[in-house]
Structure 1
């Protein structure tokens, strides 16, 4: 019965255009049954009440509600985050940017790291987890997203503030070692091309950034220049079509050296890094 349920659910999700129907079907059933994915093949029978709950969740996923909203959690590097309506669901590709920030902070005695546009708190939480001696600060403008970040960062030592990255952490100006940010970067004209899971469920404040998608990137460039110590570094995610235009925001000011772009695991341009000139 378990196998038939999963197969039927996967078919339903595939017809709805879900990108990973088999995996999502398995994740949802494991969630309902309270078992790991590894133990799911060992389950033969599913109680009628569990099957009914599963059917409802599969229906919501077929309507393109994010899988992570249905599960209530999202994995990010070595931590698990609480997510739901009102907060941007962290993507696997952002783990690369977080890994870069961790690599930059790790060799320093007491690194100061600032995560702008923290959303769920994913990057800040990962840095605090993997570089325990780091002093990590995070800011989020959206009230609902800030509430999710507060849950995820509670007890981690991360200082979380609510506010605009454009003027955040003025008290840290000139002292920060690493600034990291996953800003909104989708052009407004690209509305129709955005996956329903993001377009209909992620906060628009976390997605769209003006006609060219680089409005927030320009704000970030100016703020990072203000916050970093000379020789400090900044890293920022961008859309795969912005592999030239996003780094140009930094290289065009004359304030930065070592402006570089980096690919994701699929080889697509994904994030830029730069060092504040000494």
Structure 2
């Protein structure tokens, strides 16, 4: 048996030295995962059995090497749902919950909203919309076969119309019929390779991360395709990097197709996503 507090303290110190952003929280999450309990029950523990301590050591070593926490637990929390994730799919971030929340609020105000989630990845946004707005008709598309397989798992039994294909020419059958287009596109400039956090750079699919020299290539494609999918007066929302708080909205503002172009901050006060309405 090993003392639980000593085990957690040592793990936290190792993860901190390795550069993990939240060493204490990650150590606690992994120990709770190994023990099959909630993190809230950890303070009640005195000792950890030897076999569980050994399993914890394996996971801490992998996290020390900067393997994503969600790959180790196999799940990622997103708003009110839990998603299966792992190698081959972009791990959804808490910041994207704000974009999903915007789409959900827009959908709630419509009688029978038609929503399209482009670049769905794990299916996080699509599943959240289907969960929180059950009267919505939700469609989603993913280009990468490996990520699409994860989306299939996460969107099973949700009623979401999931397709495999290019986000920027998909859903021609829905042209001018969509109320809301939402997208978390790739937006990292290729030159910013070294600045990307290790967990994302080494483990997330590069197709979901990088988008040309200025990071706006996918957003330019999105602007054109969303204008074809949306009905007049329909709305578009998409995520971008915090340094793109002016350049990303400018892609839409430079076109006569859009009205009410607005950028939104995340909870840390950083520019995070842009919304706009298709001109009538």
TM-score bucket of the superposed structures, by smaller chain: over 0.9
Tell me the number of residue pairs that the alignment of Structure 1 and Structure 2 aligns.
278
Paired residues for 1:1-278 under 5 Å? 1-278=3-280
| Structure 2: unaligned runs, 5 residues or longer | none
Partner Cα distance (1:225, 1:276) in 2: 7
Report the aligned-residue RMSD.
Answer: 0.4
| Structure 1: unaligned runs, 5 residues or longer | none
Cα distance, 1:82 vs structure 2: 0.2
* Residues 1-28 of structure 1: CA deviation (Å, up to 9, x unaligned): 0000000000000000000000000000
Partner Cα distance (1:83, 1:132) in 2: 23
Partner Cα distance (1:132, 1:166) in 2: 26
Partner Cα distance (2:122, 2:6) in 1: 36
Partner Cα distance (1:162, 1:71) in 2: 26
Off by >4 Å, runs of 4+ in structure 1: none
* Residues 202-238 of structure 1: CA deviation (Å, up to 9, x unaligned): 0000000000000000010011000000000000000
TM-score normalised per structure 2: 0.99
* Residues 138-169 of structure 1: CA deviation (Å, up to 9, x unaligned): 00000100000000000000000000011100
